[in-house]
Amino acid sequence: MGLSLDTNKQYTYADYLTWWDDKRRELVGGFIKMMSPAAARQHQEISGNLYWELRNLIKQNKGKCKIFTAPFDVRLPKNGETENEQINTVVQPDICVVCNPEKLDTRGCLGAPDWVVEIQSPATARYDLTEKFNLYEASGVREYWVVFPAEAIQVFLLQANGTYDNGTLYEEGKVPIHIFEGESIDLKDVF
């Protein structure tokens, strides 16, 4: 028997922790957002390539940042709320980088990662470019990459006023990593 949840009801992270089934979900403002059960092969290849490049980059630079891939819970509290019963937004970015070890706990990340990567699929395109874009911006994610499997990456950077810039689209060459000054990733290594 499957778990029956009301998609019109608001839930908290405490509720989320009780859902023991094989379905992947995110909470945005307390509302359930269903996720696809498994990513397509191309999505997995891109994710693996990016993870490999980033992990090596962090390791070579002896960085304190940590890299995580989905499923990995990122709780985005509002107004400093830290109790599970108060948090109503939890997402699972395809890849995220956290440079502040105080944000990491046994359940994942509590607070905005420094960098989030979402890899597009037909089912997630609008969600990643609207709701997640707005959520990451409001939460203070410094760098947000949207990866298009048609071999392009759009990079959004958080500005001093707390909003993302218009984004820069990269279709060839190297993509600068702004949270790691002077570093970049070659698109050939991603795709």
Instruction: Decide if pLDDT at 1 tops 50.
Output: no
Element (H, E) at 43: helix 41-60
pLDDT of residue 105: 96
CATH topology of domain 13-190: tt1808, chain A (3.90.1570)
pLDDT tens profile 47-96 = 999 999 999 999 987 888 999 999 999 999 988 888 999 999 999 999 99
State the pTM of this model.
Answer: 0.90
Confidence of residue 33 (pLDDT cuts 50, 70, 90): confident
Instruction: Decide if pLDDT at 2 tops 60.
Output: no
Kindly state the average pLDDT of the residues 6-24: 89
Instruction: Decide if pLDDT at 115 tops 70.
Output: yes
Q: Which two tokens stand for residue 103?
A: 């944000």
98: Cα separation from own chain's centroid: 11
Higher-confidence residue of 120 and 155: namely: 155
Confidence of residue 121 (pLDDT cuts 50, 70, 90): confident
> 180 vs 26, 62, 97, 143, CA distance in Å?
28, 12, 11, 10
Instruction: Decide if pLDDT at 17 tops 60.
Output: yes
